[in-house]
Amino acid sequence: MTEAEKALAGLLYDANYDPALIAERGEVKYRLQIYNTTDPRDLVQREKQLKALLGKTGEQILIEQPFYCDYGRNIAVGENFYANVNLVILDCGKVTIGDNVFIAPCVGIHTAGHPLDVEQRNRGLEYARPVTIGNNVWIGAGVQILPGVTIGDNSVIGAGSVVTKSVPENVVAAGNPCRVLKTI
């Protein structure tokens, strides 16, 4: 089993020293460097680059520059997706984003985590847990979404939240840690 396969299976894998993963991340960083320096007025070229980078997209997709991710191949976004500047997606595990999702500036979506065991951590091992964001979701500025979280359809996550646990559908949730404030 490759290190990438281990990551997608939720097993500990070598993220720091595996030559194949390092090479793949290097290639993706190179492609992102090109994307992030593409003329911001050239929406056709930007969309073409995103569709080539990401695992799956809808027809309408716009991610403002700069954008950062680890692999791209593990990211699936639905129709009518918009993300503002400084989106970071650490897609060691699957990241699935539904239709009509809007993401404010400086949001981080993180599938990667590290063992508490210092020896495992020092060997470069980590784990990945999938993140799922439903349809019609709005993620506020500066939100950090941690590994294994699901955000339900039609929900709003308030600015500055740290989402450590899954959020149900049809709610407004905010805070550190993020918690449900009201039903929509």
Can you spell out the DSSP letters for 129-162?
Answer: --EEE-TT-EE-TT-EE-TT-EE-TT-EE-TT-E
Q: How is residue 166 written in tokens? A: 């899954």
Catalytic member of 114, 153, 162, 179 = 114
Let me know if 110 is a catalytic residue.
no
Per-residue pLDDT tens for 4-44? Answer: 999 999 999 999 999 999 999 999 999 999 999 999 999 99
The pLDDT assigned to 52 comes to: 97
Beta strands per DSSP E along the chain = 13-14, 61-63, 67-69, 75-77, 81-83, 87-90, 95-97, 102-103, 108-110, 112-113, 125-128, 131-133, 138-139, 144-145, 150-151, 156-157, 162-163, 171-174, 179-183
Share the mean pLDDT of the chain: 97
Per-residue pLDDT tens for 87-134? Answer: 999 999 999 999 999 999 999 999 999 999 999 999 999 999 999 999
Q: How is residue 106 written in tokens? A: 């400086």
Percentage of residues in the chain having pLDDT higher than 90: 100
- Measure the CA–CA gap between 23 and 32, rounded to whole angstroms: 14
Single pTM value for the model: 0.96
The CATH T-level fold of domain 3-183 is UDP N-Acetylglucosamine Acyltransferase; domain 1 (2.160.10)
